[in-house]
Amino acid sequence: MSDTRDVRLSPSVAARIDDRLPHTEFESVEGYVDYVLTAVLDEVDDDESTGGEDVDEREVRDRLESLGYLES
């Protein structure tokens, strides 16, 4: 990571990451945090690009049935 910034983590979060590291491919807290934050931000960006509307077809169908628009 070239151009980096320092970020402070609470002791409890840092301890949780330290506990996870041996079970991951990461060798450092920095690498793990960078990966997790990138994954979360990518997911948020994807949600924003789709209008944040992640629609479950089954929920829509159930709702339409409950309103009487569809027969079961």
Packing angle, helices 29-49 and 11-20, rounded to 10:
100
Q: How far apart are CA 25 and CA 64, in angstroms?
A: 46
Distance (Å) of CA 13 to CA 8, 22, 34, 60, 63: 10, 16, 14, 38, 40
Model pLDDT for residues 19-58, shown as the tens digit of each residue: 999 999 999 999 999 999 999 998 888 766 666 566 678 8
pLDDT of residue 61: 81
pLDDT at residue 62 is higher than 90: no
If DSSP codes are grouped into helix, strand and coil, which group holds residue 31?
A: helix
pLDDT of residue 29: 92
Mean pLDDT value of segment 3-18 = 91
How many other C-beta atoms can be found within 10 angstroms of the C-beta atom of residue 33? 16
